[in-house]
Structure 1
Amino acid sequence: MNSYETRIGMAKKKMEEAEYILLGGGAGLSAAAGITYSGKRFTDHFGPFIEKYGFSDLYTSSFYPFETEEEKWAYWAKHITLNRYELGATKLYIDLFQLVKDKSYFVISTNVESQFVKAGFPSDKVFEIQGDYSYLQCEKGCHDTLYDNELWVKEMIANTTDCKIPSKLVPTCPVCGGEMDVNLRKNQYFVQDEKWAESDKLYKNFLQESEGKKVVYLELGVGFNTPGIIRYPFERMTYHNENATLIRLNREHPEGFEETEGRTIAFTEDMQQVVSAFMQ
């Protein structure tokens, strides 16, 4: 691997020359921005839940099989509030917007905290393919409408006692009367509404428009939980386009296709440091 300074220079040059930039945001991006799912941030906010259920982090706790809906929504109200409503735009996401705002760009992200939009990215240039913390859906996906949850969540938080909410605050599906869930892709019932379909169309249009052109695929903290959404497609598109460059920011998994090694610039350094250097 070339020196840090050499790689920064190469990456900056490629981004300056690029006709298109496609950003791919994964969990490592939000972690680098300070939206961590474990450690002090978790223990400071989830003490009662940790004591009652033995939770160790926000990721594994989101799969906990709560015995009642009252317990489930007490947890999820806290989870959503911390990661979606209490948190403003972080510096790393704001810097990314400043980096690409004058380019032809698009964003695909598996993150669900809406940080890209908060940081200034227009919503029609962001495809949050895995869902959004701010919406609820029918747990069984009986219809394709999503429901803004901010007021619900605030009321749940205000009325949580002993890690439970009152039964009257448990949301139910207005169509089938069944249980509700957060709009996150975790099973076959994930609801893809009209907005999701439009984002998917815009993303595919961007891919078609940029095909064969000078493209930078800026991959940010994408691991192997869902590699088929960003990581593998970015590598494949780089391989098939000799004018493309893959810039990968990933502390743990910088490796990629051997065939695209000459057109891949990888960084394992601190992501905020690297993005700040791109802007200088």
Structure 2
Amino acid sequence: MSSPPSPLELEDRFARCARLISQADGLLVTAGAGLGVDSGLPDFRGNEGMWRAYPALGRARMSFAEIASPHAFHARPRLAWGFYGHRLALYRRTLPGPGFAILSAIGRRLPAGLFVFTSNVDGQFQRAGFDPERIVECHGSIHHLQCLMPCRDTIWSADGFVPAVDDDACELLDEAPRCPHCGALARPNILMFNDDGWIEERTRMQWSRFDAWRRPVERLLVIEIGAGTAIPSVRLFGEEQHAPLIRINPTEAKTATDRGVSLPMTGAEALSGIERALIRAARSP
């Protein structure tokens, strides 16, 4: 394991980030669960962390892959909606951390602005005021629903559903949402494990808007935040852009390109350091 960078080396890396931003004409933010952790959200990818948040799933030794699946909605709908209903309520009341505002300010510096690519389903970028037309949610969104069957390719807002959850039992107490067309159980419009029923039309439209934004951008910069290697969708997508990459990750920050900058820290810490470097650069003669 390599030793952490010294304070002087970190300041040099922040300065390099500021130079990359000054040279770019468009910013692609690629975000994994680590950005939400900075806002106080738990990372549900690991079983141990999930079981601490949901003791009933821990007692049943139920893994994330088991509860985050269409099968769970078929077999134990109140438990599945207890898990997702709790998350929905949590995301609705969570305020985005300071890193979102810093990213937005960086995007405003660039001629083409920014676009977001995220595996997060929490809707935090929209809640932070980012343009919904400039976000790709590659795994869908908990704030939208679809038919579990599904009976048709229809997606609708979850705004009318206010879940009441028994936190200890991880079970939904009130009526689960239903498909307005066939009356079957509804589920979040999220790509789950072993999921052949996910309706991807909303995400497909997001991809189309990204492609239209990306084509004229000539000097792209990628800032990746809190994206791990266990499910590498976010990391791979950023690397596929063949652009300078700023990788922010407390434990997996190494980059495979000499045009990359590695920042082994949380998103909030790294973005604050980049912000300071941008301010210093603006004051320099």
Normalised by the length of structure 1, the TM-score is 0.80
Structure 1 unaligned spans of 5+? 239-243
Provide the rounded CA distance (Å) in 2 between the counterparts of 1:36 and 1:71: 19
From 172, 175, 184, the counterpart of 1:178: 184
Let me know the Cα RMSD of the aligned residues: 3.1
Deviations 1:85-112 (A, max 9, x none): 1212222222221232332211111111
Aligned to 2:225: 220
Instruction: Indicate the residue corresponding to 2:237 in structure 1.
Output: 233
User: What is the correspondence of 1:97-116 to structure 2 with a 5 Å cutoff?
Assistant: 97-103=104-110, 104-116=113-125
Aligned residues: 262
Aligned match for 1:96, one of 92, 96, 103:
103
Report deviation, 1:160: 8.5
Matches of 1:30 and 1:93 in 2, distance apart? Answer: 10
- State the secondary structure of the residue aligned to 2:160: helix
Does the aligned pair in 2 maintain the 1:248–1:264 contact within 8 Å?
Answer: yes
Partner of 2:214: 207
Q: Following TM superposition, by how much is the alpha carbon of 1:265 offset from its aligned partner in structure 2, in angstroms?
A: 0.8
Describe the shift of the 1:209–1:226 C-alpha distance in structure 2 as closer, same or farther (beyond 3 A).
Answer: farther
SS at match of 1:169: coil
Residues of 2 paired with 1:127 and 1:69: CA distance? 28
Rounded Cα–Cα distance in structure 2 between residues aligned with 1:161 and 1:253: 34
Instruction: Give the distance between the partners of 1:270 and 1:196, measured in 2 at CA.
Output: 28
- CA distance in 2: counterparts of 1:21 and 1:118, whole angstroms: 19
Is residue 11 of structure 2 the alignment partner of residue 12 of structure 1? Answer: no
Q: Distance in 1 between matches of 2:33 and 2:144?
A: 19
Q: Which amino acid aligns with 1:115?
A: Q
Match of 2:247 in 1: 248
Alpha-carbon separation, structure 1, partners of 2:168 and 2:39: 31
SS of the aligned residue for 2:109 comes to: coil
Q: Residue type of the partner of 2:244?
A: T
Cα distance in 2 between the residues matched to 1:158 and 1:35: 18
> What 5-or-longer segments of structure 2 have no aligned partner?
277-285
Alignment of 1:10-159 (within 5 A): 10-37=16-43, 46=54, 49=56, 53=60, 61-62=67-68, 65=72, 67-82=75-90, 84-103=91-110, 104-152=113-161, 154=162, 156-157=163-164
